[in-house]
C-alpha cells in the first residue's frame, strides 16, 4: 500500500468511526425531562406493562365532573409525561379524562435502547391496551410520529388524532433536526447517520414517514405547528396535511411559535375546542 492510499484511508476510517458513534448518540441522548405536575381532577399515578416486559409510568386524571371522553397524550423525544401536562390541562378543563405516560427510556419508565417512532408507537399501544376503549390520541414531535403509526394500525381504537410539531418524511426531518442542532455536524455526518440507521433497522426508515402513512388514516385529524419551527419547518406540516384525504385534516399554524410552544399561543385553545366541537359526534358515541 503506497503512502497516498494509506493517507487517504485514515480520514475515511475516522469519518466512519465518528459517524457510527454519532448514530448511537443521537438515538440515546440527550434526555431533557421537565417538571410539571397535574393540578386538577383526581390523579392516579401508576405503572403499566410495556411490550418488552418493562413498564411505563402513567398518570390518569379524571375531571371533577362527568367525563366527555378520554385523551391519551404522547410526549416527544427526550421528554417525559410531565411535558404534556399543560396540554392535558386544556383537555381536562373541557371535561375530558387525560392519560399521560413516559415512553420507555424516558422519565422513570423502564430502559429501552434505540428508541424511535416505532417504539413510541408500541408504548402508545400499551396505553391503549390498558385503557381498553377508544380514545382521542394527541402526539407531539416524535410522539406525533408514533401516534400516526398507532392510528394507522388501530383505526377502531382512535376517535380523533392530534399531531403537533409533526414531520412529513423521516429522513428529511432527521437531517433538519441534526442541522438545527449543529449545522456542520448535521451537514457532514447527517447522511452517514441515516445510512447506518437503515442498515441497523434492516429497512428504509423513510417507510415509516407520516406522509406515506397519512392515506391509510381514517379518523379526522387536527394538525398544530409552530410558524417559526426551526427543527421541522412549517412547510413539512403543509406537505403532511396534503397527504391526507381532501378535507380530512385541519391545520392550525401557531403565529410566532417554535417547535414546542404552539400550545402557549392565544389561538391554540380555540383551535382545539373548535375541532372537538365539529367532531363531537365521533367521540360522544
Cα separation, 197 vs 185, in Å, equals 16
Q: Residue 44 in 3-state DSSP?
A: strand
Kind and range of the H or E run holding 196: helix 183-201
Confidence band of 169 (pLDDT split at 50, 70, 90): very high
pLDDT of residue 9: 74
User: What is the average pLDDT across 193-222?
Assistant: 96
All domains in the chain, ordered by first residue: 1-30+170-208 (no CATH), 33-165+209-283 (3.40.50.1820)
221-226 and 249-254: which strand pairing? parallel
User: What is the average pLDDT across 91-95?
Assistant: 97
Cα separation, 252 vs 178, in Å, equals 26
- The CA-atom distances, in angstroms, between 215 and each of 77, 174, 279 are 25, 22, 20
Percent of the chain scoring above 70 in pLDDT: 97
User: What is the average pLDDT across 100-126?
Assistant: 96
pLDDT (tens digit, 9 = 90+) per residue, 30-77?
788 999 999 999 999 999 999 999 999 999 999 999 999 999 999 999
Q: Do 243 and 216 meet the contact criterion of CB atoms below 8 Å apart?
A: no
User: What is the average pLDDT across 134-140?
Assistant: 98
Residue 196 has pLDDT above 70, yes or no: yes
Q: Do 282 and 220 meet the contact criterion of CB atoms below 8 Å apart?
A: yes
The three cell numbers of residue 43 are 390523579
Q: Which of 92, 107, 124, 98 is closest to 57 using CA atoms?
A: 107
The phi, psi pair for 94, rounded to 5°, reads -90, 0
The phi, psi pair for 161, rounded to 5°, reads -125, 125
Provide Rg for the chain, Cα atoms.
20
pTM of the model: 0.94
User: What is the average pLDDT across 89-118?
Assistant: 96
Amino acid at each position: 500500500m503506497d503512502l497516498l492510499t494509506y493517507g487517504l484511508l485514515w480520514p475515511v476510517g475516522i469519518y466512519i468511526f465518528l459517524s457510527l458513534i454519532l448514530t448511537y448518540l443521537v438515538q440515546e441522548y440527550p434526555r431533557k425531562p421537565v417538571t410539571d405536575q397535574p393540578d386538577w381532577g383526581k390523579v392516579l399515578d401508576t405503572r403499566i406493562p410495556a411490550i418488552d416486559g418493562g413498564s411505563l409510568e402513567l398518570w390518569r386524571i379524571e375531571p371533577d365532573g362527568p367525563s366527555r371522553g378520554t385523551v391519551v397524550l404522547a410526549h416527544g423525544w427526550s421528554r417525559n409525561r410531565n411535558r404534556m401536562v399543560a396540554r392535558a390541562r386544556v383537555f381536562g378543563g373541557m371535561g375530558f379524562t387525560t392519560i399521560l405516560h413516559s415512553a420507555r427510556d424516558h422519565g422513570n419508565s423502564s430502559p429501552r435502547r434505540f428508541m424511535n417512532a416505532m417504539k413510541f408507537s408500541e408504548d402508545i399501544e400499551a396505553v391503549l391496551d390498558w385503557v381498553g376503549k377508544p380514545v382521542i390520541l394527541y402526539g407531539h414531535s416524535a410522539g406525533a410520529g408514533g401516534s400516526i403509526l398507532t392510528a394507522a394500525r388501530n383505526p377502531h381504537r382512535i376517535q380523533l388524532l392530534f399531531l403537533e410539531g409533526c414531520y412529513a418524511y423521516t429522513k428529511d426531518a432527521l437531517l433538519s433536526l441534526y442541522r438545527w442542532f449543529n449545522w456542520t455536524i448535521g451537514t457532514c455526518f447527517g447522511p452517514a447517520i441515516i445510512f447506518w440507521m437503515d442498515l441497523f433497522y434492516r429497512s428504509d426508515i423513510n417507510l415509516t414517514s407520516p406522509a406515506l402513512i397519512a392515506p391509510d388514516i381514517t379518523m379526522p385529524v387536527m394538525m398544530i405547528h409552530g410558524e417559526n419551527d426551526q427543527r421541522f419547518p412549517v412547510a413539512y406540516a403543509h406537505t403532511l396535511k396534503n397527504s391526507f384525504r381532501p378535507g380530512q385534516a385541519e391545520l392550525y399554524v401557531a403565529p410566532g411559535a417554535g417547535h414546542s410552544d404552539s400550545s402557549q399561543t392565544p389561538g391554540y385553545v380555540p383551535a382545539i375546542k373548535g375541532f372537538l366541537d365539529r367532531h363531537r359526534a365521533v367521540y360522544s358515541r
